[in-house]
Structure 1
Amino acid sequence: MSGPSKLELIHAYRHLYRGLLKAVQYSKPARYMARDQLRKSFRNDDPTTFNQDKVDKTMEFLRGAAQERGLEHRILRNLLLSKWTPRVGNASTATHVRNTARLNYDMTLAMLNESMGLCLR
């Protein structure tokens, strides 16, 4: 079975990007972080792992985040905030704490994606 066509990937990227912009209400730091994360995931992921159902569910999630400041909006805001938070300190303890926190964050996000059928990063 072959992967999706290039046109399907382009449409998915554009729909997700447009949905992200609406969800963050075009705010300056958030839109750039969302764009960078989306670019990174589309460039680094294997095209054969593309799942249109997950893209559709993620679009539904983004529409919910754009419509009102409910749970979806807060989840998206916290995802982007965690990407933006500057790194401080060079001590090995701070690095260990940061790595442990990132591991727990990644595992929580993976469980959220799995339970809801999303493709958030």
Structure 2
Amino acid sequence: MSNATHLELVHSYRHMYRALLRGVQFSKPARYVARDQLREAYRNGKPSNFDSRKIQRTLEFLGGAAKERGLEHKILRNLLLTRLHFTDLARLQRPHRRAKGYYEQPSTVNAVNIQRTAFIHYDMTLAMLNDSMGLCLR
């Protein structure tokens, strides 16, 4: 990776983080979820997938979320709250938290299947939002 590409990635990360903080108006649970999501995206993403147009559109979207509490702000808030609940559920469902003789009731098994389906629908909806608007939200 060339030095110019690396600098563009660093600058885009900083601009995105700053815009995310302004978009969630520095609220406590949302800013940490946004930070973790952004870190994961830039650490696990490939530099070849770097698209400056999508990043610019995302920055405009986040700027609109920061400017007023309109549709952009509601979308961003709901995305971050949903991700917060997903991470909380994943943390609570870790196998080491259960006792050895733990018996799963049928209602618990059904709830896990419903949550898994909800995660799939959430990811598909977010992918369609990104494709239709040319954004790079996660």
Report TM bin, short chain. over 0.9
TM value normalised by structure 1: 0.93
- Cα displacement (A) at 1:62: 0.1
Aligned-residue Cα RMSD (Å) equals 1.5
Q: Matches of 2:124 and 2:43 in 1, distance apart?
A: 22
Who is 1:94 aligned against? Answer: 111
Who is 2:63 aligned against? Answer: 63
Identity of aligned residues (%): 59
2:102 maps to 1:115: no
Q: Tell me, what secondary structure is at the counterpart of 1:42?
A: helix
Bigger shift: 29-38 or 83-92?
83-92
Who is 1:76 aligned against? Answer: 76
- Cα displacement (A) at 1:50: 0.5
Q: Matches of 2:29 and 2:53 in 1, distance apart?
A: 29
How many residue pairs align between the two structures?
119
TM value normalised by structure 2: 0.82
- Where has structure 1 moved over 6 Å in runs of 4 or more? none
Q: Matches of 1:105 and 1:84 in 2, distance apart?
A: 13
Q: Matches of 1:6 and 1:104 in 2, distance apart?
A: 34
In terms of Rg, which structure is larger?
A: 2
In structure 1, runs of 5+ residues without a counterpart are: none
1:117 counterpart letter in structure 2? G
Who is 1:15 aligned against? Answer: 15
In structure 2, runs of 5+ residues without a counterpart are: 94-103
Who is 1:33 aligned against? Answer: 33
Q: Matches of 1:7 and 1:117 in 2, distance apart?
A: 23
- Cα displacement (A) at 1:96: 0.6
Q: Matches of 1:9 and 1:25 in 2, distance apart?
A: 24
Q: Matches of 1:95 and 1:12 in 2, distance apart?
A: 37
- Cα displacement (A) at 1:112: 0.4
